[in-house]
């Protein structure tokens, strides 16, 4: 397959499907971790939670890291 033979619209749909899955499952896992930490008495009462998300696509030599602080004081 040459670079001109792929369907750009289909690629866009597949990327969006992947990102939706990442978003839904990541939120679920984060909420579970917060709930578990609260139940164990290990959740901070104020401040920020440092979070990191890494997107890796080895065949494209892509490694994209997003660092973010989740403010729990709001």
Give the start-to-end residue ranges of the domains of the chain. 8-71
- CA atoms of 12 and 51, how far apart (whole Å): 27
The DSSP secondary-structure symbol of 58 reads: G
Report pTM.
Answer: 0.79
Q: Which helix (H) or strand (E) holds 10?
A: helix 8-39
At 60 the three-state DSSP class reads helix
Per-residue pLDDT tens digits for 26-52: 999 999 999 999 999 999 988 899 999
| Residue pair 69/51 in contact by the 8 Å Cβ criterion | yes
Whether 24 shows a pLDDT value over 70: the answer reads yes
Place of tokens 């994209």: 64
Length of the chain: 74
């Amino acid at each position: 397959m040459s670079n001109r033979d792929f369907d750009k619209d289909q690629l866009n749909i597949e990327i969006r499907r992947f990102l939706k899955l990442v978003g839904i499952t990541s939120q679920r896992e984060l909420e579970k971790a917060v709930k578990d930490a609260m139940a164990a008495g290990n959740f901070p009462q104020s401040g920020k939670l440092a979070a990191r998300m890494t997107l890796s696509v080895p065949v494209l030599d892509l490694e994209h890291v997003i660092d973010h602080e989740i403010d729990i004081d709001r």
